[in-house]
Amino acid sequence: MKVKLSRIFMYIFLSVAAFLSLFPLYWTAVSATNTTPDILAASMTPGSQLIANFTRLLELSSLGRAFWNSARNAVLLTALSVSICSLAGYAFEVYHSKAKDRLMSVLLLSMMIPFAAIMIPLFRLMANMGLVNTTLGFMLPTISTAFLIMLFRQSTRSFPREMIEAARIDGLNEMFIFIRIYIPTMKSTYAAATTITFMAAWNVFLWPRIIMMSPDSVTMPMLISNLMAGYVTEFGVVMLAVLIATLPTILLFLFLQRYFAEGIMGTVK
């Protein structure tokens, strides 16, 4: 009897947690299709205002521009970041030496540096290099992260060394081995790294808020933040913008949940 009760309690607890987790997302989606009065009346059902809200959103903001900026920035940053960090993580493990291990532990310390502590000098550095409002300026600070290097270093431990030895005997050069043998074998690590890097790059707010100063270089998180701060009173329009900013990462999450989970836990192995 006692066992039964605790099971019921467990289902109730999990259901409440799941409901609370999903509700704000459901409400966002529903509100994107409603008028302001409907939203204020706590309407919980989809309305018919989706097209009207969308038209209004296009009038109020440069949605297309911001979406393109976000997509371009996030895709480029992810591609560069995963390439450079995977090569480094591979090197730290495959060619490892005492000096390289020591360097890795120094690099890991960078994970403890709060972004607030470096954002001002970083901004000045970028300004001196003429990189304000550029994708390169947006990307540079986070192209290489100790976290991603570590993720690849740890996963490389499970990469069969015999494959490298065999390729060397066949006379293949080291870069060729990395590109043609390592990368195809480590697909799931690449998927994990790509998922978490893309999500972080799509959602990042503080750095673009500093470095992307012209209206032309606004990203999606900045666009929705500006909409709200501009006291747009059409809530349905704001919620539609929030929904559009969120959908890409939600879809990515739903399709690649396993890789996302592997990615965030990459260094715990």
Partner 1 sequence: MKNSAEPSGSTLIKKSGLSLSQKQGLTGWAFLFLAAGLIVLMNFYPMVRGFMMSLQTGVGANMQFSGFVNYTRLFEDPRFRQTLINTFIYLLVQVPIMLILGLILATMLNSRNLKAKGFFRTAIFLPCAVGLVAYSLVFRQMFAFDGLVNTVLVNIGILETGHNWLGTPWSARLVIILGLLWRWTGFNMIFYLAGIQNVDTSIYEAARIDGANVFHQFWKITIPLLRPIILLTAIMSTNGTLQLFDESFNLTQGGPGVSSMTMSHYIFDTAFAGNPMLGYASAMSFAILLMVALLAFLQLKVGDRR
- Judged by CB, which is closer to partner 1: 50, or 213? 213
Phi and psi dihedrals of 219, rounded to 5?
-105, 175
Smallest separation (angstroms) from partner 1 to the CB of 47: 15
- Judged by CB, which is closer to partner 1: 38, or 54? 38
d(Cα 211, Cα 190) in Å, to the nearest integer?
29
Smallest separation (angstroms) from partner 1 to the CB of 163: 15
The alpha carbons of the chain give a radius of gyration, in whole angstroms, of 23
- Judged by CB, which is closer to partner 1: 133, or 225? 225
Q: Comparing C-alpha atoms, which of 49, 65, 62 is closest to residue 237?
A: 49
Strand, helix or coil for residue 61: coil
- Judged by CB, which is closer to partner 1: 54, or 178? 178
- For residue 209, how many other CB atoms are within 10 A of its CB? 16
Quick one: DSSP state of residue 49? -
- Judged by CB, which is closer to partner 1: 121, or 184? 121
- The alpha carbon dihedral of 85, 117, 66, 45 has a sign of positive
**Where are the alpha helices (H) located in the chain, listed in sequence order?**
2-31, 36-40, 50-60, 63-94, 98-109, 115-128, 135-143, 146-156, 161-169, 174-177, 183-185, 187-203, 206-211, 220-229, 235-264
- Judged by CB, which is closer to partner 1: 54, or 235? 235
Smallest separation (angstroms) from partner 1 to the CB of 229: 8
Asked if 32 and 240 touch (Cβ cutoff 8 Å), the reply is: yes
Smallest separation (angstroms) from partner 1 to the CB of 48: 20
Asked if 199 and 75 touch (Cβ cutoff 8 Å), the reply is: no
d(Cα 9, Cα 177) in Å, to the nearest integer?
55
Smallest separation (angstroms) from partner 1 to the CB of 76: 15
- Judged by CB, which is closer to partner 1: 28, or 135? 28
Smallest separation (angstroms) from partner 1 to the CB of 13: 7
Smallest separation (angstroms) from partner 1 to the CB of 145: 7
